Every structure is written in structure tokens, then in C-alpha cells.
């Protein structure tokens, strides 16, 4: 069997980079992207430097993937940005940036990947939401709105793409010690952890475990679902 082709967004660092290493370790060919250049290289990994909302560049990337590999089996929409501030202190430009990267970026990658997956009648897409959505976390209005958008987007796409045998699911991680939450005060994070059934930070492995499950060929009957970590 040929190697699975897996596309991951936001791979420069953090969970994205971890996912690259994980799936290369599992024998996938991984294509990744990030806004900034990367300072690392791996066999079976190809990188594109682009912003996930740049439609022209994203389409070009998919065109190149199509010409080289002829298909995409898995898409992991990991790229995302956060804004953590009281709404009264949040500029509209920040809200637009967060919505753009998180919702529009996810939409664009799903749309372009679906065009390839439709042809092969197989595909797995995983999008990222957050436990901050069901927890209605104050101080994260723009981020939570964008991630609620990703969840709804996933639910609709799961229905639109079902006839192509493409599943679309969402994972909702709890806080993980990455750059995304570095600027958040410790007491705020603790308040959030206290609202989980299992009160600890999430790990990259916790996230990978869920994504592995969604990507399994046996998960063909799992679509439009959101799985929250930590018992939220």
C-alpha cells in the first residue's frame, strides 16, 4: 500500500510540528505549511510558507500536491491564533484576524482538500476547536466565536462531504503548555483547568490520540463529531 498523504497546517512549532514528526514516524508523507519559514527538515516532509487565508497560495499548494502525489488522504487543520482579552479591550482588527485564520483558513483548506478527496472517494479531515467553546470562557470572545465557527463548519461539511466518503471531525483540546497560552495569567488558566473533569494540562499525546482515532480507516462511520479532552 502506498504511503498516506497527510496535510497539516501550522507546522512550524508546537503541536503542528509534533504532528508532523508523529505521522512521519507512522510512515506518512507529510505536507505542511506555516506563515514563517521553518528551521528544521525531515525526510518525507515538504513545507510551504504561506498564510492559511491566502487563497491564491493555498490553491497553488494544492495544485502542486495534486501534481506530485495525485491525492490527499488526511487533512489536519491545526493552524490557529488566539486573542485573550476582555472584549472591551479587543480591537476589531484582532477579531477579524482571529476569525480569518481560524474560520476562513479552515474553510479554505477543507474546500481545497475535498476537491482532491472527492476524486479518490476517501478522506479524513480533522479541525481544531477548544473547550473554551462549551465553557463559554470570558476574556476570549473572539477566539471562542471563531472556534464555535469551526465546530459548526465541521458539522455542515461532514454532511456535504459524506457522499465522497470524506469524514470531518473536530477535536477540542484543553489548555496545553504552548505559545498559544503563554501570555495568559496563571490564575486564569487554573480557573479553566478547575472546570475540567480531569484537572490537568493537556499534552500533545492526548491530542494525537484523538487525531489517530479520527484518521483510522475504520473510523469511516465517525463524522461531524467533536471530542473534548479532559471531560469538558
Binding site for another protein (CB under 8 A): 55-56, 59-60, 63, 66-67, 115, 118, 163
Name the residue nearer to another protein (CB basis): 118 or 195: 118
Q: How far is the CA of 221 from the CAs of 47, 73, 217, 218, 224, in angstroms?
A: 31, 16, 9, 8, 10
Asked whether the beta carbons of 100 and 51 are under 8 A apart, the reply is: no
- Residue 98 to residue 147: CA distance in whole angstroms: 9
User: Cβ of residue 72: shortest distance to another protein, in angstroms?
Assistant: 13
- Residue 145 to residue 151: CA distance in whole angstroms: 10
Name the residue nearer to another protein (CB basis): 164 or 213: 164
Q: How far is the CA of 19 from the CAs of 25, 49, 79, 218, in angstroms?
A: 10, 17, 12, 20
User: Cβ of residue 77: shortest distance to another protein, in angstroms?
Assistant: 19
User: Cβ of residue 168: shortest distance to another protein, in angstroms?
Assistant: 16
Name the residue nearer to another protein (CB basis): 52 or 180: 52
User: Cβ of residue 57: shortest distance to another protein, in angstroms?
Assistant: 10
Angle between helices 14-25 and 204-215 (to 10 degrees): 50
Name the residue nearer to another protein (CB basis): 55 or 138: 55
Amino acid at each position: 500500500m502506498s504511503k498516506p498523504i497527510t496535510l497539516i497546517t501550522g507546522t512550524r512549532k508546537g503541536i503542528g510540528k509534533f504532528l508532523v514528526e508523529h505521522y512521519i514516524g507512522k510512515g506518512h508523507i507529510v505536507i505542511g505549511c506555516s506563515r514563517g519559514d521553518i528551521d528544521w527538515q525531515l525526510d518525507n516532509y515538504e513545507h510551504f510558507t504561506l498564510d492559511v487565508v491566502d487563497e491564491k497560495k493555498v490553491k497553488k499548494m494544492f495544485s502542486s500536491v495534486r501534481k506530485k502525489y495525485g491525492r490527499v488522504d488526511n487533512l489536519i487543520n491545526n493552524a490557529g491564533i488566539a486573542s485573550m482579552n476582555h472584549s472591551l479591550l479587543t480591537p476589531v482588527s484582532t477579531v477579524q484576524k482571529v476569525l480569518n485564520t481560524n474560520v476562513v483558513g479552515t474553510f479554505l483548506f477543507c474546500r481545497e482538500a475535498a476537491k482532491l478527496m472527492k476524486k479518490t472517494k476517501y478522506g479524513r479531515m480533522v479541525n481544531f476547536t477548544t473547550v473554551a467553546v462549551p465553557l463559554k470562557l470570558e476574556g476570549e470572545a473572539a477566539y471562542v466565536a471563531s472556534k464555535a465557527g469551526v465546530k459548526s463548519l465541521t458539522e455542515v461539511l461532514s454532511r456535504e462531504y459524506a457522499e465522497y466518503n470524506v469524514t470531518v471531525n473536530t477535536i477540542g483540546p484543553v489548555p496545553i503548555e504552548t505559545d498559544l497560552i503563554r501570555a495568559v495569567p496563571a490564575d486564569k488558566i487554573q480557573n479553566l483547568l478547575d472546570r475540567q473533569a480531569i484537572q490537568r494540562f493537556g499534552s500533545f499525546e492526548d491530542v494525537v490520540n484523538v487525531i489517530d482515532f479520527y484518521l483510522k480507516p475504520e473510523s469511516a462511520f465517525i463524522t461531524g463529531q467533536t471530542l473534548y479532552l479532559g471531560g469538558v
